[in-house]
Structure 1
Amino acid sequence: MDLASEEDKEITIGAFNGWDESYAAAYNTKYALEQDGFTVAVESFDAGPAFTAVSQGDIDFIMDGWLPVTHEDYIQQFGDDMEAQGCWYIDAKNTIAVNEDSPAQSMADLADMADEYGSTIYGIEAGAGLTRMMQDNMIPTYGLEDWDFKISSTPAMLAQLASSTDAGENIVVTLWRPHWAYDAFPVRDLEDPEGAMGAGEVVYNFSYAGFTEDHPQVSQLLKNLVISDEDLASMENIMFSDDHYGGEDPDGAVAEWVEENDSFVSDWKAGALAG
């Protein structure tokens, strides 16, 4: 891929506030483009303003469009003014996670294992869609009305997850993929035989309409991007966990991750990540 042949070397990427995978993908793309002489800016937006900005050509692309559910309304509203630039992650979902060595294998097991988990599920913010899904779907579906669903914050949930796994104690938390907790802690998802947590989603890049013609090589780079669960969790872990960069210096975090995963960028540019 001859990225150096592109004449316009100014690129602006939109990332979603609070969405860790958005920054991991954006800053890895920034790194790859800067290798070939581009000047790249990553700007932070809430989802609505981000889709507005890319549809109007104020930014070049966003990397965190979730389909078919989360961002469906934005695609319907702005789709005529955008171009899809490839799907890079296929396992996005809300879920329930436990420590790896705990007994439950399925959400259906929990009702009979209250003593193992102290009848407690650790959740996140009250206003999160995941919290509403727990209250409306998961808890009644699996008969956990007598459990203590602790609604607090994402940092509080992660702190409890760290404390419990360090102590070798069983724990149940609300979680979602992608997330760096899967790299940082010994956790696994529970099966959801009733589908109470909803179907999975996929993550797309979206550019302004005409971007492919303006930037054919960058467009191909975006379409080449495929990030596995393992790679994405480790990217996010280095970028965001308190044991590493804690959300500070994302460029430094990406440089460290690329050094440890030295074939990723070359495979990406060669279109070999899907293999």
Structure 2
Amino acid sequence: MRRRRMTSLIALGAAGALAFTGCASGTGAAGGDLLENGDRSELTIAVFNGWDEGIAASELWKAILTERGYDVTLEYADPAPVYSGLSTDDYDVTLDTWLPITHQDYIDQFGDDLVDLGAWNEDAKLTIAVNEDAPIDSLEELAANADKFDDRLIGIEPGSGLNRVTTDDVIPTYGLDDLEYITSSTPAMLAELTAATEAGENVAVTLWRPHWAYDAFALKDLEDPEGTLGDAEGIHSFGGKSFEANFPTLSEWLTDFTMDSELLYSLENAMFNQAETDDYGPAVEKWISENREYVDSLTL
């Protein structure tokens, strides 16, 4: 089931990249009739490739808003084109900005043309994770035991904030330059993690909390005594340049939106671990039915 999902994510990433090249046609804030609450009906949510908490939150809001008459499109892309697209109103909103570390560079670059709608989860954390029975417990031990991990550290997308922190801070601080640091994509990292787990081999990957992999695999985070990966971060919603003007009601809903990690894990598990299909709609609808009081509170 996980392999099916990884393949799907790779396809979604390619589709998202193609979609971005054509988004100037105005699928975001430029179109749509007005709803009774004053919002435009057409909404484009930008979703980071491979970032499951953002996928989960975006699918949840798509379902909620569709019930209320919005025409919601999810477009997958990497962070750089997302923030650029938000700044020009080609995308309306994204729900997966990690601050104050992971995505701060993009906010420094594009923030004057964006609106921070606040953090909906305060427990986000960058990690370097290994299999639970690995022979080390700290990043300080990784260099001396690199051969036990096939002299490799498996990363995610080259343009991600996690990659920047790993390259600029983790690797030089802990002397990991002799390891082969492999960056490709989140689905590729998860494929490596799956293969190593099934083979009973040690593996070291760049990861983050909250993520469903911590439920699917027996993992532990390597201690980071030098604090290179930073403290817990907040996951923020960011609107595009005209978002508040085009979506005054939704702006208020997203500003008030909160979701603790336990709820988020349960949604991720329903979508990524328990579902028998890569069509997230039915899993999200079932989760909504089981958490109706919470969901209804999001649009009061």
TM-score (norm 2): 0.68
- Counterpart in the other structure of 1:99: 131
Q: 1:191 to 1:11 in 2, by over 3 A?
A: farther
| 1:47-86 pair list within 5 angstroms | 47-86=79-118
Query: What CA deviation, in whole Å up to 9, does each residue of 1:163-205 have, x standing for no partner?
Result: 4445665543222234321232222322211123345532221
Q: 1:213 to 1:227 in 2, by over 3 A?
A: same
Aligned counterparts of 2:191 and 2:248: Cα–Cα separation in 1: 44
- Counterpart in the other structure of 2:279: 249
Q: 1:45 to 1:30 in 2, by over 3 A?
A: same
Q: 1:79 to 1:135 in 2, by over 3 A?
A: closer
Amino acid at match of 1:30: K
- Counterpart in the other structure of 1:226: 258
Q: 1:99 to 1:259 in 2, by over 3 A?
A: farther
User: Which of 190, 209, 225 is residue 158 of structure 1 equivalent to?
Assistant: 190
Offset at residue 222 of structure 1 (A): 0.6
Unaligned runs of 5+ in 1: 271-275
Q: 1:34 to 1:149 in 2, by over 3 A?
A: same
- Counterpart in the other structure of 1:124: 155
Aligned counterparts of 2:89 and 2:126: Cα–Cα separation in 1: 32
- Counterpart in the other structure of 1:266: 296
TM-score (norm 1): 0.73
Unaligned runs of 5+ in 2: 1-34
Amino acid at match of 1:174: T
- Counterpart in the other structure of 1:89: 121
Amino acid at match of 1:27: E
Amino acid at match of 1:12: L
User: Which of 15, 21, 25 is residue 57 of structure 2 equivalent to?
Assistant: 25
- Counterpart in the other structure of 1:273: none
- Counterpart in the other structure of 2:229: 197
Q: 1:81 to 1:119 in 2, by over 3 A?
A: closer
Query: RMSD of the TM alignment (CA)?
Result: 3.6
Please state whether the residue corresponding to 2:298 is helix, strand or coil. helix
Aligned counterparts of 2:70 and 2:174: Cα–Cα separation in 1: 52
Q: 1:48 to 1:104 in 2, by over 3 A?
A: closer
Report sequence identity in percent.
43
Amino acid at match of 1:38: Y
Please state whether the residue corresponding to 1:217 is helix, strand or coil. helix
Amino acid at match of 1:266: D
